[in-house]
């Protein structure tokens, strides 16, 4: 099953709204995601990310609640890249 995960926007690159990318912190794991669907997002905002695309903004309290649930379920490790 695929899951959308909240993350904090650390930085944004690109001026074109269709190609804007963000570095997103998922509770210590940092990955890149497209910000094309959320042109209003700024550094410091929390977004919900699914398959490399930020889909919507979410408030920090909600994001922290999701991280706590994932930690309790032992699923935060799924965010880290697997080495062969």
Task: Report the domain count for the chain.
Answer: 1
The pTM assigned to this predicted structure is 0.79
Task: Give the CATH number for residue 57.
Answer: 2.30.30.140
Residue 65 lies in a domain: yes
Percent of the chain clearing pLDDT 90 (strictly above): 57
What's the CA gap between 37 and 28, in Å, rounded? 24
What's the CA gap between 46 and 60, in Å, rounded? 6
pLDDT at position 66: 81
Residue 3: band (very low, low, confident or very high) from pLDDT cuts 50, 70, 90: confident
Residue 12 lies in a domain: yes
pLDDT at position 67: 79
Residue 83 lies in a domain: no
Structural domain boundaries enclosing 12: 5-78
What's the CA gap between 19 and 80, in Å, rounded? 24
Residue 84 lies in a domain: no
CA 34 centroid distance within chain = 10
pLDDT at position 73: 77
What's the CA gap between 82 and 79, in Å, rounded? 9
């Amino acid at each position: 099953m695929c899951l959308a995960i909240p993350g904090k926007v650390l930085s944004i690159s690109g001026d074109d709204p269709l190609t804007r990318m963000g570095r997103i912190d998922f509770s210590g794991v940092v990955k890149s995601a497209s910000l094309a669907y959320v042109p209003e997002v700024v550094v410091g905002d929390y977004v919900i990310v699914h398959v490399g695309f930020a889909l919507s903004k979410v408030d920090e309290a909600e994001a922290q609640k999701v991280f706590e649930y994932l930690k309790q379920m032992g699923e935060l490790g799924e965010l880290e890249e697997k080495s062969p």
